[in-house]
Amino acid sequence: MIDVLIIGGGIAGIETACSLQDLGYETIIVEKEKTIGGHLNDWDTLFPTHRSASEVLAHYTDETRKRALTIYLNTYVISVKKQDDGTFEVHTSRDVVFRSKAVVVASGYKLFNAERKEEYGYKIYDNVLTSADLEVKLKDLKGEFKTPTDKVPERIAFIHCVGSRDEKSGNHYCSKLCCVTAVKQAIHLKQLCPKAEIFCCYMDLRMYGPGFEEMYREAQEKYHIQFIRGRLSEVGENSNGTLQLKVEDTLAARPCKIQVDMLVLMVGMESAKSTELFAQSCGLKCAPNRFIQPLDHHIGSNLTNVEGLFTAGTSIGPMSVFDTVNHAKATAFAIRDYFINTAR
Amino acid sequence: MNIEGKKQIWNAYQKEIAENDYFYARSCIRQNFFPASEVAFLRILREELHKNIIDDPNHTTCTGIGYHSDIVPFDTIQTVVARQFSLMTQAGLEHMAISCVTSFGIYTEILDLWHHFPEQLEKIREYLYKATKREFNLPKNIAHTSDVIYKFRNEIAEKAKYKLVNKQTGEPLNVVEHIGCHYAKMFPTKGVGGAEFPQVLVGMIESWGGNVVDYPERRHCCGFGFRNYLVQANRGYSISNTKKKLESMKPYKPDFIVANCPGCAMFMDKWQYTLAEMEGVTYDENGYGIPVLTYEEMAGLVLGYNPWDLGLQMHQVQCESLLDKMGIEYDPKAKYLDKNGNQMPLPEKPSCLKV
């Protein structure tokens, strides 16, 4: 029997595994994708420093190799069953059944499907992208930045809170990272296309982390990005492929129309479908927002209602990379405490 | 524009539309401004599709315009709707086919309300019984009449004498489709194709050979908006909304507009005259304006019905340019003859819009 089975090979899972190994515990990671790193694989740069995401990914890849962590790729967790003796039986898409003394749910998040906001025209109008699409585009960029219809953009708009704080989407919560991501991406595009006018349409700007507010100020003062407090009501396509946005400017108290070459939808974070499925299998309590409910928000955010079953990273809600790393380290210490207490 | 994206949305919003045996709920506006459209609908269903549809003269207004103008209380309109259901029940039918988009929205809203608040349904049953001694069953299926034509669009295409194609060039006609707000914006699942990219008219246009124009203000209100028009002082809002739409569609050179809502067809047609008088502008290249059809008129033309039997002479923007493009044969001299062949009084000519 292994000490800890970790569900998810993103940065939360790997950081937890590394920290647990440092504490002397044997771990395995079960990852549904063909590679480790989760969403970081698709990201170009990270806020607030514009550091390349691949650097962080390379760090974790090196750690994985150096420590010879055991990782099962392309493996889905089907169910997690707690046994009478307090250990866990984990059934996966492989024939083998894993047994462990503790389990960590580090299954991450999924991005909001922007097609659900039908009025924004994602997957219908060619020049409507999501923030994730833009990261991929920037990551693969060779030469000049152009819109999907091959034009150097003169006007670009970012729409915040797509699928977040949105009752119609069933997501009342704030995804918390989209604001700063929009600021980061807006600056990046302004650097690539200095002549472009860039608009950010927001509800509130939630610059909660160190360096975020400074970046927001820089976006306005240095890069002249225009922030409009208001929601997008609908998008239409002009005959030349440009887009017409109908936006409410709540500070000016008037509706406005904006013509842009490209629209970026800042998609929020949702609980991964797989998390919900195996949470049901082991009686794991989920919060109304469908993420896993921590046992105690303040002093036990790594613990769950099932003893021996822990969480790390965004399985409990939206988190940045550095929040995820810190949470994962704390999970390792919570597991150590659990083993010490159960051994007594 | 990615049509596959639209198809995905359409797949998510396919509603059940009854196959046969409809109770017909007429529209107040349409009977006044497009009276032949409802006649054409009944003719298409009975003579072309061989369906059973009851058109009961005891049917009344749904009072929707009064309701949306805050002069008819909610309990009253529910009781009126309950009475229509009692007529349907009395006729031994279970399916409503509703001609007006406002009525369709009201029926949908009231059925949804009764579903969530059954005590309200019981109250209305009591009101209706006290007032009329009538009882009723809830319909098993309600459809807007454009849904019904949509359902049988391929059968109509098989019987078509004309296509939505420019006979001279062989190119598909460019058609602007406009959906009434109350068709699906309140209850997206009740409209074919949902609220943002409705398929109901697109399906007809494409089946009959036309090309759908997607222009930036496609989803914008036609300008009716009830209070925008009903309160005389607000009519500037009404016409400015219509103007916004017409200006937005003009660069696409539409051959005609088709609407599934009585108010939309009326306002996009009649405000073209008013805008021409006010500003000297028309929204086509030759000064005739853009013809506005109902979907039954469009279906009737495709089926080869006489344009004057379809009531096209009642429109503000005259439709001969469209008839010529489609290669439809018509007798210009018969345009203003009544059903007995007598000459009706000729309408005055507008000062700007060509007729």
Write down the pLDDT at residue A242: 96
Mean pLDDT across A267-294? 90
pLDDT at B226 exceeding the cut of 90? no
Closest CA–CA distance from residue B184 to any residue of chain A (Å): 13
Question: Which one, of B111, B60, B63, B39, lies nearest residue B300 by Cα?
Answer: B39
Write down the pLDDT at residue B31: 85
Mean pLDDT across B84-112? 97
Q: CB B216 to CB A236 under 8 A?
A: yes
Q: Which residues from A are below 8 Å from B when comparing CB atoms?
A: 115, 118-119, 121-126, 234, 236-239, 244
- pLDDT tens for B39-88 read 999 999 999 999 999 999 999 999 999 999 899 999 999 999 999 999 99
How far is it, in rounded angstroms, from Cα B288 to Cα B255? Answer: 11
Mean pLDDT across A141-156? 96
Write down the pLDDT at residue A279: 86
Mean pLDDT across B249-257? 97
- pLDDT tens for B307-352 read 999 999 999 999 999 999 999 999 999 999 998 999 999 999 999 9
Write down the pLDDT at residue A217: 97
How far is it, in rounded angstroms, from Cα A268 to Cα A160? Answer: 9
pLDDT at A344 exceeding the cut of 80? no
Mean pLDDT, rounded, of chain A: 95
How far is it, in rounded angstroms, from Cα A171 to Cα A268? Answer: 9
pLDDT at B5 exceeding the cut of 80? yes
Q: Measured on CA atoms in the order B113, B114, B116, B117, is the torsion positive or negative? A: positive
List of domains in chain B: 16-145 (1.20.1050.140), 158-334 (3.40.50.11810)
* B2–chain A Cβ distance below 8 A for any pair: yes
Q: Chain A residues with CB inside 8 Å of B8's CB?
A: 115, 123
* B251–chain A Cβ distance below 8 A for any pair: yes
How far is it, in rounded angstroms, from Cα A216 to Cα B327? Answer: 62
- pLDDT tens for B120-130 read 999 999 999 99
Name the residue of chain A whose CA is nearest to B188's CA: A118
For residue A123, give the nearest of B2, B251, B252 by CB distance. Answer: B2
Write down the pLDDT at residue B34: 86
Q: Chain B residues with CB inside 8 Å of A119's CB?
A: 196, 219
- pLDDT tens for A49-70 read 999 999 999 999 999 999 999 9
pLDDT at A23 exceeding the cut of 90? yes
Alpha helices (runs of H) in chain B, residue ranges in sequence order: 3-12, 28-33, 35-43, 64-68, 74-90, 101-116, 118-132, 145-151, 153-158, 181-184, 200-207, 227-230, 235-249, 262-279, 295-302, 320-326
pLDDT at B228 exceeding the cut of 90? no
Give percent of chain A above pLDDT 90: 93
Closest CA–CA distance from residue A179 to any residue of chain B (Å): 27
pLDDT category of residue B1 using cuts at 50, 70 and 90: confident
Mean pLDDT across A178-195? 97
pLDDT at B170 exceeding the cut of 80? yes
So what's the ipTM on this one? 0.86
pLDDT category of residue A117 using cuts at 50, 70 and 90: very high
Q: CB A236 to CB B251 under 8 A?
A: no
Write down the pLDDT at residue A40: 95
Write down the pLDDT at residue B102: 95
Closest CA–CA distance from residue B192 to any residue of chain A (Å): 15
For residue A118, give the nearest of B4, B9, B215 by CB distance. Answer: B9
Name the residue of chain B whose CA is nearest to A235's CA: B216
Question: Which one, of B306, B286, B294, B234, lies nearest residue B264 by Cα?
Answer: B294
For residue A239, give the nearest of B2, B6, B251 by CB distance. Answer: B251
How far is it, in rounded angstroms, from Cα A42 to Cα B298? Answer: 50
* B209 Ramachandran zone, left/alpha/beta (phi>0; psi -120 to 50): left
Name the residue of chain B whose CA is nearest to A120's CA: B196
Write down the pLDDT at residue A170: 93
Write down the pLDDT at residue A294: 95
pLDDT category of residue B24 using cuts at 50, 70 and 90: very high
Residues within 8 A of A (CB atoms), B 26-45 only = none
For residue B196, give the nearest of A118, A126, A238 by CB distance. Answer: A118
Write down the pLDDT at residue B33: 86
Mean pLDDT across A327-342? 96
Q: Which of A14-28, A101-115, A159-173, B216-230 shows the lowest per-residue confidence on average (mean pLDDT)?
A: B216-230
Instruction: Judge residue A241's burial from the number of C-beta atoms within 10 Å of its C-beta, 0-12 exposed, 13-18 middle, 19 or more buried.
Output: middle
Name the residue of chain A whose CA is nearest to B196's CA: A119
How far is it, in rounded angstroms, from Cα A94 to Cα A32? Answer: 11
Judge whether B106 and B148 are in contact, CB under 8 Å.
no
Name the residue of chain A whose CA is nearest to B185's CA: A119
Return the CA Rg of chain B: 20
Name the residue of chain A whose CA is nearest to B6's CA: A124
Residues within 8 A of A (CB atoms), B 262-321 only = none
Name the residue of chain A whose CA is nearest to B12's CA: A116
List of domains in chain A: 2-108+272-343 (3.50.50.60), 114-268 (3.50.50.60)
Q: Which residues, 6+ apart, have CB-to-CB distance to B329 below 8 Å?
A: none
pLDDT category of residue A334 using cuts at 50, 70 and 90: very high
Look-up: residue for tokens 């046969």? B20
Q: Which residues, 6+ apart, have CB-to-CB distance to B332 below 8 Å?
A: B320
Write down the pLDDT at residue B127: 98
Q: CB A124 to CB B217 under 8 A?
A: no
Look-up: residue for tokens 């396509």? A237
Q: CB A118 to CB B252 under 8 A?
A: no
Q: CB B216 to CB A238 under 8 A?
A: yes
Write down the pLDDT at residue B29: 87
Q: CB A236 to CB B2 under 8 A?
A: no
Write down the pLDDT at residue B85: 98
Q: Which residues, 6+ apart, have CB-to-CB distance to A8 below 8 Å?
A: A29, A30, A31, A38, A105, A106, A107, A108, A312, A313, A315
- Supply B206's token pair: 């494409």
